[in-house]
Structure 1
Amino acid sequence: MHPDIRQNRQREAAEAGGVRDPAHRLEEAVGLAEAIALDVVSAETVPLNRPVPATLLGGGVVERMARTVEDEAIDLVIVDNALTPVQQRNLERALETKVIDRTGLILEIFGARARTHEGRLQVELAALTFQRSRLVRSWTHLERQRGGLGFIGGPGESQLEIDRRLIDERIAKLKRELEQVRRTRGLHRKAREKVPYPVVALVGYTNAGKSTLFNRLTRSDVFAKDLLFATLDPTMRRVDLPSGREVILSDTVGFITDLPTDLVAAFRATLEEVTGADVIVHVRDVAADESAAEKMDVEAVLRSLDIDPEVPVVEALNKIDLLGPDERGAVSAEADRLERAACLSAVTGEGVDRLLDVVDAALSRRRSIRHYDVSLADGRALSWLYENAQVVAREDEGTVAHLDVSIDPEDAARFESRHRHAAE
């Protein structure tokens, strides 16, 4: 059930410059439920002028939902909105069934999808942070007290306090483990910097086709399916660009509108590759009705990551194979208007070469002209420069070749570390 709250629509219009269609919001919520194999027997949008403090939804809506739950023998009700602990408890009492909100549903998906140790740690941290907020006035049995130790005296510790303390201890332990994971990731990043390759990060709304494109570009078999949040753990592979330059391609977790704050914080480590990327490829599902709104959601997340504004962003206008001739023409015109964009289909491979050309060009803009004096006897150094840089001028004088080359900062660092005599 998606509550279409007028106050929220007004806020969206003011902040984002547009309002997402409630029907598509409901469709997305159904997709989230189906992503963990739930059988959706009823789905509807409920218009509300303002939220009701006790249940979020109005009394008449709750009564009607209760009848539907009983008639359809429904085991779980999903409210596509944030619920307070009190609202969740009151709805469960009124409907006599389990109720979860949008955050709870996304947590379930993340729990089912996480494959690596880091991913599982992040899921548990987000789940415990969410659960801790539910302890206050949420579970009546937690108010029972346990007796204190006889020689201390005074009241015992309440079950609520015990549970909160145990959760806090586990959260602290998880944060320590995640910090160790981040340090290990940092060591891996430093190791890559010693043999530096530019990093190209794929970002986009969930289910935009990032993993399918990743597999197409890297000839790998990363899990890719028509599911929301099919990818949670960052995956990296090496890719050769048309110029012969090698890059590291990173596939990241998909973004989504109204992603809960706790989840953004817990999964920030998976987005570290985005913050350090040399080029960001924004994969868009141009066949989606909400493509423009999804683009704004992704751009909002990117702004929150404090990415260097100098980092070029390439738009991959994906799924053109699902468009008719007129729609394809409109998307092609949009790509022409954008400075860095390519129309493509990750499924068929159409336009993928064009995308690689655009990424290659975006990286080339980072090049600078450097001068090297290389001995003509040093064939290895000369060959390396011709293979990895663009020689724009050369003058041979005696036994030395004086070269002006257009080269990436990473390649310059590699060359100068291996051939220090040429860079002096």
Structure 2
Amino acid sequence: MANPYPWKHGNTSENTAAELDPRYETPLGAQEKADKAEQNAKTYTYALDDRFKAHAADQTVHVTQTDHNKLDGIEWGAEVNQNAYTVINGIPANAPMTELKILQGIGIRVTQDPDDRAITITATGPVDIDPIPLSKVYDAGNSAYLNAGTAAGNVPVLDENGKLDAVVVPAIAVTDTFLVATQADMLALVAQTGDVAVRTDLSKSYILKGTDPTVLANWQELLTPMSPVQSVAGKTGVVTLTKADVGLSNVTNESKATMFTSPALTGTPTAPTAAAATNNTQVATTGFVKQQGYLTWADFPFTYLRSGLLTLPASPAVLDVPITAVVEDSYSMRSGNTVVVPLDGWYSINILATVQDLPATNRLDLTINQNGTMLTSRQVVGFGAGAVTFLGFEEQRYLAATDVITFKTSQSGTGTYSLYNVHIRLTRLGRRP
């Protein structure tokens, strides 16, 4: 039997060149045919799928789901292409309608032509306007509701003379004044109620209280109150007084402007003594001046003190300035190395200190203390080796009696330096008023 697989040799599975021979159905050839058939099938299927999708999307041929939804909402027996109004002049209708009505009103006529279905709206003008109730007119004003007349609630109107009825505006009485010399002249006046007649013969005035001026009883005398002053200094009529009439015979009529210009006082003039704390422009008596107190030398305590040699230790040690010499000391203000203030008042405090060879990197401090609390202080930077550094200042402070004043000093370096010849002066300048 011939070998049906000539490309195989023995038991080997190796492919041979004979497999490519088209006369044989080789595995490679079969695979190629299978692959080609598969590719042709896919191509056909893809093309068929595209035609199917295009056919499904063709809304001319097929009814869409939206169309289905619309058709489902149409009731059985509904008319096709039925027009419906759902919104008229921007106002939604309560329900769709097929008929639109146009109604005429006051001053408006509506006509329609059944042939061309035209509607004509015509303004008829004031002739065809139906009566409008006054309550419907909103800008007529309150007077439109009222009747004309003179009764309560009426609107008054002018008469033929352009005046209001006297019932509406009563007559206004104007008082005239007449000067007459006799009663006959008064009764002959053409006067109205309220007019006044001044009688020069009686120095009296009368007012007409009735309507007839010819009746004497209609004239009422106007009463004038009597003056409470009957006489002045026993004089009546036109009174002219002199200084003797009022007990001022010794008074000279002199103006204030000249009375107090360089007055010359004689004798021992007196004046009230003001309180000790008074501070104004009134006259001060000798009593006022004396109660202010006399100022003497003892009212100005003064002390002048000096220190001896003091070695300043390294920082931060602080030492009291020793007072070794008293140049002058009124009131005995010096107490050891302190000064005790004898009187309240303003004091001038002057101090001058010198230190030898203080380096330019060091600082000399001098402090004045009041009752153990620092009152003020001063500092100076050294002038260097071979030089003397001076520290001086003047301070004014208000001190109270018995205040204890102390003086302390220090320097900021690490070495020791000599402080000497410290001058201290305290001078009382005065006191508060």
TM-score using structure 1 length: 0.16
TM-score using structure 2 length: 0.15
Higher strand share: 2
